[in-house]
Chain A
Amino acid sequence: MELLDRYLKAVKFWLPSEQKQDIIAELSEDLHAQIEDKESELGRPLNDAEVEAILKKGGPPMLVAQRYMPKRYLIGPALFPMYWFVLKLGWLFFFGPWLILGVGVNLFAGGHFQGLLEPFLRAVLINFAAVTGVFALIERSHSKAGMLKDWSPRKLPAVRDPNRVRRSSSISELAWYLMLLLWWANVLRIPAIPGVNVELAPMLSRWLFWPTLVLILCQGMIACLNAIRPQWNPRRAAFRGIVDGLSFLVVGYFLLIWAQGGTLVAVTGAKLSSAEIASAEKGITYGWSVLLLIWAAVSYAARVVQDARRAASKPPIRNWALQLLVGE
């Protein structure tokens, strides 16, 4: 019976301490009875292989013990969809862009990948632990019961007309393009460094100043129109599709310059050495401006897709990530 004793000991290990003796006594009785029945059927004592077969039928010790315990979750099935959604949001809007852009910038600017990886992994871990911890607390608190009990179909968010434009997003878009226009026309000086003049690189200002200015004005005009008449129609969507497509090409051209090692800005300053000027130009080009440009390119590409569908009188794609990306 050595095998049986080993099996019972292994099951016992995983059982809750207050029930160990009781459960093992009952399980032992059942297994002994099974063995005795088989022995009387065969008319001889069972060998190890036969005892092993009986024990294997019962299942692995940990699984057997687990069946005696109540179902326990760190985050239960009711909260899990929300928990997963929050984790996905973190990846979509923070870790995903960080990883993609960080890797891109580091590789092209000759940085060290290891230097990027360490803070990234730390942030991922902290985020995961914090989100999991908060949801585990909610799971254990009574707030979950209230949250799931006090629901009513009336409290659920209204189904939005996919062609209705939110005024708040039109107004914020308008403000953004107004600021961009002032910056592009060199009225708003960002970054503002005393004694240092930051302008668009000569090649860009020669070829792209006016086309970009027109595109910014068009984008502002569409945002203004959307704020006044917040409903997409195929014609307006087609117009924005063209403007978005051209904006994508301009942003893509900027990125091409960056990828080829060029600079997007020209820095001048009486007290700066040529080495300092070159360093400042590189610093601005390879810093946040590139991150913004990549973000803009992705956003314009996504908008072209939605614009094209609306222009063809089709409903836009109802994907929450895509909708957030295009600011709807």
Chain B
Amino acid sequence: MTQGTNNAEANDGLLENLRLELRRGCLVLAVLAELRNEQYGYTLRKGLAERGLEVDEGTLYPLLRRLESQGLLASEWREEEKRNKRFYKISRDGKLVLKQLLAEWQGIGRSLEGILKESGHGTS
């Protein structure tokens, strides 16, 4: 294996880690927003994937549990299409947090856009 291939692999690994880090924070926001309408895990995952935010089950379900234990989501087991499914919905506290997070997110977006424009990496 050449030095060039090793460097390319290392860069790919680094990029993947940074990408995951970047997505991690956004994911909470996306999940809370999606769960303004009640859904169960699999449909939520499909919905996020259709909007370009693919999440594997090993990431999504622990996150749902964490958000539920923090009081931001509520869940209940129900039978649907002859199968038991756990349905999640955003709670009242969750709605408040979502509102604050959205404001924060928009603020970050504006700041980042300004920074990128100044440094000549503008998105537009």
Contact = CB atoms under 8 A, between A and B. Distances in A.
A59 B59 CA distance: 10
B84 A67 contact: no
Contacts, number: 40
B17 to A, nearest CB: 16
B64 to A, nearest CB: 9
A29 B65 CA distance: 16
A68 B65 contact: yes
Interface bin, chain A: 10 to 19
Interface residues of B, number: 16
A33 B86 CA distance: 13
Contacts of B61: 23, 26-27, 30, 68
Contact of B41 (A26, A57, A63): A26
A75 to B, nearest CB: 24
B85 A29 contact: yes
Interface in A38-69: 57-59, 63-64, 67-68
Interface string B69-102: 0000000010000011110000000000000000
A31 interface: yes
A233 to B, nearest CB: 48
Interface string A9-38: 000000000000001011101111110000
Interface of B: 40-42, 45, 56-59, 61-62, 65, 77, 83-86
14 contacts: A23-B65, A26-B61, A27-B57, A29-B41, A29-B83, A29-B85, A30-B57, A30-B61, A31-B57, A32-B83, A57-B56, A58-B57, A63-B58, A68-B65
